[in-house]
Structure 1
Amino acid sequence: MEHFIWNIDPVLFSFMGLTVHWYGALFAVAIASGYQVMKRIYISENLDVESLDNLLIYCVVGIIVGARLAHVLFYDPAYYFANPAKIIAIWEGGLASHGGGLGAILALYYYHRKVKMPFLFLLDRLAIATAIFGFFVRMANFVNSEILGVQTDVPWAIVFERVDLIPRHPAQLYEAIAYLLIFICLAVLFKVSQMKQRHGAIFGLFLVLVFSSRFVIEMVKVKQAVYADEWTFSAGQLLSIPFLLVGVVLLARAYLGKQQQS
């Protein structure tokens, strides 16, 4: 069976010594898309749009620092502890989405203390922006031929020629599609339902949908943690479980518990 061959140049363009990679460009699009979603929400609810500039800075720093530390600690700690100078070499790759998510939450907590707005209220809105952010980040991973799927003979398998000649599950596209569908679902619920009145409900649903999807898709991914080859579950699956449980608790709290302006 002939499979689709993927071998795009990771460099988008070079001009006068400046090199722009597809990954960096799509990551920038991810940030810009998330910002625009938050801006539209703020405008629709008559919130302070100018304060979003601070939120953008906090979240970008939180995502990058959190994602890098999670990669170092959970995916290849032996290498980084033996080569500590490499910990800051993010240009060589290595950002874990679980850590990026936690970093964004901590950044939002700092922002919430500054603007005096309910934390769960803000998390509900950031969840929608994060879903579209995740879509573009996974497309960047696809362009970069990273976060590979396992070998398969399904008709839609892709050969990532820059890596090897093995037909694989396009796991990055699976996740990208999942995040796009989650974004659409949350955006529609935010607009047409009363879900946003229950603080934490949208964020809880986001966690349940994202990390249940992630848990399933991890089954067709090459295990990224170097120490987890013999484990039943991948590091990505194990890290998804706490987020999934938090999502369930938030949904239960929103619909079964007493609402608080927290």
Structure 2
Amino acid sequence: MDKLLLYINWNPETEFLNLFGISVRYYGLFWVIGIALAYFIVRYLYKDKKIDEKIFDPLFIYCFFGILIGSRLGHCIFYQPDYYFSSLNHFIEMLLPIHFLPDGNWKFVGYAGLASHGGTVGLAIALLLYARKVKMNFMDVLDMVAIATPITACFIRLANLMNSEIIGHPTTMPWAFVFESVDNVARHPAQLYEAIAYFVLFLIMIFLYKNYGKKVHRGFFFGLCLTYIFTFRFFIEYLKENQVDFEQGMLFNMGQLLSVPIVIIGLISLFSGKKLDKMNPPLHQKK
């Protein structure tokens, strides 16, 4: 027990404030901060590339719903299909932020399960629809959003940390966290590892854009974002507890299996972007 005093005892309040009976939780607050930062960063990129602001205006709506719908469906389909497809009520819970009670009533619970892999796919589909709507090149849009994505990912993992979820394996490292709402075991703060890694990627993205943004090929930032985040995600899974029971005994868990095809797409984008440039020059090469 004395040894636990060396670690960080983690049991923060999950509620940031309560406004007239409406709870504002840190989880939702950090999500909003992450998306808001991405919004202002991409807006700056549009201005820097002298793209009409009217074209930018609908982008936020596409991104917000693409991420939310993709994250939610990704969690339900890949991690808890046995629950959400077992009855009509459970299927409705997948689509709406409610939970049905045994007496037939329901209560608002928010979207408790969100998966980053699903969010990535949902965002890509939303951006494809957006690019077609405003008649922009899809890869140009992906590149600009990719530069801002790591800061959003950073805050999402900080949200997970505030919720004491996605915890790591037990460890004796001096920076271990004891998630008191979970158990009395010193564990890797895997959420914090990811948050730091994604913040570092954000700094790298800003540096590369400022210094080499007009020299790299189309798809470079998109490819770098996918490759970095999901390669890190693959290996950090070895330090994390499995999220669902069926992952026990699997050689690679669901997070790792879903990361592989995304990394492959990222690598293809990194190394075949010059071919895309020849087909249709990026915005900064157009006259």
8 Å CA contact retained: 1:27, 1:137? yes
Match of residue 246 from structure 2: 227
1:87 aligns with 2:94: yes
Which one of 231, 239, 243 corresponds to residue 212 of structure 1?
Answer: 231
Which one of 6, 13, 28 corresponds to residue 9 of structure 1?
Answer: 13
One-letter code aligned to 1:125: M
Unaligned runs of 5+ residues in structure 2 are: 98-109, 282-287
Match of residue 34 from structure 2: 30
8 Å CA contact retained: 2:218, 2:274? no
Match of residue 284 from structure 2: none
Match of residue 45 from structure 1: 49
1:92/1:119 CA distance change after superposition, 3 Å = closer
One-letter code aligned to 2:148: A
**Which deviates more from structure 2 when the two are superposed, residues 76-85 or residues 34-43?**
76-85
Match of residue 259 from structure 1: 278
TM-score, with length taken from structure 2: 0.87
Q: Shift of the alpha carbon at 1:239?
A: 0.3
Q: Shift of the alpha carbon at 1:76?
A: 1.3
Q: Shift of the alpha carbon at 1:241?
A: 0.2
TM-score, with length taken from structure 1: 0.95
Q: Percent identity?
A: 41
1:129 aligns with 2:148: yes
Q: Shift of the alpha carbon at 1:49?
A: 2.4
Which one of 86, 101, 105 corresponds to residue 124 of structure 2?
Answer: 105
Unaligned runs of 5+ residues in structure 1 are: none
> Number of aligned pairs?
262
Q: How large is the RMSD of aligned CA atoms in angstroms? A: 1.6
Which one of 145, 161, 173 corresponds to residue 142 of structure 1?
Answer: 161
Superposed CA deviations along residues 171-204 of structure 1, whole A, max 9, x for unmatched, are 1011111111111111111110146641111111
1:113/1:258 CA distance change after superposition, 3 Å = closer
For the pair shown, the structure with the greater C-alpha radius of gyration is 2
Q: Shift of the alpha carbon at 1:57?
A: 0.5
Match of residue 66 from structure 1: 70
8 Å CA contact retained: 1:6, 1:158? yes
Which one of 180, 200, 220 corresponds to residue 181 of structure 1?
Answer: 200
